[in-house]
Amino acid sequence: MPNTMPSSKVDVAIIGGGPAGCSAASWLHQLGLSVVLIEREPQLCAALQTLQFGQDWVLGAPGQNLATLGQQYARHIESLAAIQVLLGRSSNHLDWSAAEGWRLQLDDGRGLNARTLILATGQKPLRPEAFFPTGAAPNARLMDALSLTACREHLPAGRILLLGGGDNAVENALFLQARGHQVTLWSRSDWRAQQGLVERLQAQTSGLSLRPRSAMPSRLSADDQGVSVQSQQFGAERFDHVAVLLGFEAEPSAWLLVGDALQRAGVTAPSHPFRDEPRFAPLGLFVAGDTSGRQHPSVQTALGDGVVAAKAVEAFLRPLGEGQPSPALRRNNRQIIHISGLRFGANLGVLDFEREGPQPIQVDAEVNLGAQMVVSRDADIGHVLDYRRVRAIIIDECTAEHTDLLEALLGKLCTRLMKLPGVAGVRIKVTKLEIFPDCQVAISAECGQW
Ligand SMILES: Cc1cc2nc3c(=O)[nH]c(=O)nc-3n(C[C@H](O)[C@H](O)[C@H](O)COP(=O)(O)OP(=O)(O)OC[C@H]3O[C@@H](n4cnc5c(N)ncnc54)[C@H](O)[C@@H]3O)c2cc1C
């Protein structure tokens, strides 16, 4: 049985009990930190319960449906008595202070102090106001991504319009067409789905009407028998069902509370669209799973994100020790090796006199080592990239053989330097110092991350 009586003070509060929140909770528990997991639905992994179809995305669980996997995750968390799980609960007010961390007001009136907060609230389908006006009664014939997924296996074959051109829309079009529906797929842009899906779509000869690059309908109006669709391009049309599959956005509820709390504390609040950002970590705020705006949302990536968030929380709560800088200062954003004004003779160029022998060049280079500890672990050169090595590689690459084009030399230098351990990006500039009597000529290049 889950522990449902929260202590008033914990190390970590997690809002959202999907795969990301559950994964973070399990890791935090193993790291010996106290955790409250707050889920607004009456069960953990609630969003997975409508996903009853077999899927192959989760390694080790081929053909398994996500509803079953979600139940397994929930059972695992509920078996860990030390994790306090609050089901059917949410927070309706948050406060933040540098000294105390996060203060959560729960919707049952209880309060809770947490030194850190993880947002794992997932995302929700986009429901444009034009198609789902506020206050309009829901109609089963006009669906979003979630309601279509919940009923698509049992939908009686008929005329169905899908609005959207991404993976979700194209995959549903193929699924429904294969079940005998007359599918119209309508996208405002070119197909944005993965190539394999688009190829399958374009190979279909019947049951599918494709409308790429078409302005969206101006009006959808659903009744008991079907949905009337009005558009400038296609006039008035009638479908049995319409599904709006225009993408997803971060579930805003907890983000908005965080934004309000930070604004009251005088800290720049997260901006919309909500995304995970490194600047949140010094506030003891961490983000995991789909709500982080990650590139490839899936159960597996959400589980991984939960682990990363748990380790980031641990690093925040357990600094390296006395004399170490605070978590906010422990890492800089980027460390760069600069080599400036390195001059030597190189065999370079296509002009006749350039082929006669080396000419003087100057190389300026920046090597991006990415985020590094502000205070280095120790003085051991083995832990850092030795700049003598960078200098030697530049000279070696420029003098080893004759190179006709400066551009080719830049390419060779970038390739060699990018292979060095820990190098995230290279900027390099090569200057021919004496090519003309009245000027120098240089070309620069940039590769990797900057
Ligand atoms: C139609 C569809 C089909 C999919 N098919 C697959 C598939 O085949 N394979 C696959 O790997 N992935 C699939 N996915 C993606 C997968 O479901 C998600 O990537 C995954 O569930 C993300 O996990 P999460 O924990 O980040 O978010 P979620 O699973 O969305 O969990 C977020 C949780 O937070 C709770 N919550 C939100 N706001 C609050 C709040 N304010 N207070 C308290 N609780 C809150 C929600 O109730 C929810 O339980 C599919 C998704 C959809 C929509």
> What would the pLDDT profile of 207-247 be if each residue is shown by its tens digit?
999 999 999 999 999 999 999 999 999 999 999 999 999 99
Residue 299 CA: nearest ligand 1 atom is 11
Higher per-residue confidence, 121 vs 330: 121
For the cut 80, the answer to whether the pLDDT of residue 328 exceeds it is no
Instruction: Summarize the confidence of residues 370-378 as an average pLDDT.
Output: 63
Read off the pLDDT band of 5 (50, 70, 90): low
What would be the CATH architecture of the domain defined by 142-246? 3-Layer(bba) Sandwich (3.50)
- Pocket lining: 122 vs ligand 1, CB cutoff 6 Å: yes
List, for residues 255-297, the tens digit of each pLDDT value: 999 999 999 998 888 888 888 887 888 899 999 999 999 888 9
Q: Indicate where the chain has its CATH 3.50.50.60 domain(s).
A: 9-124+249-328, 142-246
- State whether residue 116 is helix, strand or coil: strand
For the cut 80, the answer to whether the pLDDT of residue 378 exceeds it is no
Question: What is the chain's mean pLDDT, rounded?
Answer: 91
Q: Among the CATH numbers 3.40.50.1950, 3.20.20.70, 3.50.50.60, 3.40.50.10300, which is that of 9-124+249-328?
A: 3.50.50.60
Q: Which DSSP string do the residues of 360-423 spell out, in sequence order?
A: EEEEEEEEE--S-BSS-S-S-GGGS--HHHHHHHHHHHHHSS-BS-HHHHHHHHHHHHHTSTT-
For the cut 60, the answer to whether the pLDDT of residue 343 exceeds it is yes
- Pocket lining: 290 vs ligand 1, CB cutoff 6 Å: yes
Read off the pLDDT band of 352 (50, 70, 90): confident
State the pLDDT at residue 69.
Answer: 97
Closest CA to 7 of 96, 120, 111: 111
Burial class, 50, CB count within 10 angstroms (exposed 0-12 / middle 13-18 / buried 19+): middle
State the pLDDT at residue 272.
Answer: 82
Written in H, E and C, the secondary structure of 130-143 is CCCCCCCCCCCCEE
Whole-model pTM: value is 0.74
Residue nearest to atom 14 of ligand 1 (CA): 298
Ligand 1 centre and the CA of 123: distance in Å?
Answer: 6
For the cut 60, the answer to whether the pLDDT of residue 375 exceeds it is no
State the pLDDT at residue 424.
Answer: 85
Residue 46 CA: nearest ligand 1 atom is 49
Distance, in Å, from the CA atom of 241 to the CA atom of 179, rounded to the nearest integer, reads 15
Q: Indicate where the chain has its CATH 3.30.1130.10 domain(s).
A: 336-448
Q: Among the CATH numbers 4.10.520.10, 3.30.1130.10, 3.40.50.2030, 1.20.120.160, which is that of 336-448?
A: 3.30.1130.10
Distance, in Å, from the CA atom of 203 to the CA atom of 226, rounded to the nearest integer, reads 29
Residue nearest to atom 5 of ligand 1 (CA): 51
- Please give the angle made by the CA atoms of 417, 419 and 424, to the nearest 5 degrees: 75
State the pLDDT at residue 2.
Answer: 47
List, in order, residues 6 or more apart from 182 with CB less than 8 Å away: 157, 158, 159, 160, 207, 209
Contact 404, 349 (CB under 8 A): yes
- Pocket lining: 40 vs ligand 1, CB cutoff 6 Å: yes
State the pLDDT at residue 326.
Answer: 59
Residue nearest to atom 45 of ligand 1 (CA): 16
Distance, in Å, from the CA atom of 434 to the CA atom of 360, rounded to the nearest integer, reads 7
Residue nearest to atom 20 of ligand 1 (CA): 299
Residue nearest to atom 26 of ligand 1 (CA): 289
- Pocket lining: 90 vs ligand 1, CB cutoff 6 Å: yes
List, for residues 38-52, the tens digit of each pLDDT value: 999 999 999 999 898
Contact 120, 306 (CB under 8 A): yes
State the pLDDT at residue 421.
Answer: 82
- Pocket lining: 298 vs ligand 1, CB cutoff 6 Å: yes
For the cut 70, the answer to whether the pLDDT of residue 354 exceeds it is yes
Residue nearest to atom 27 of ligand 1 (CA): 122
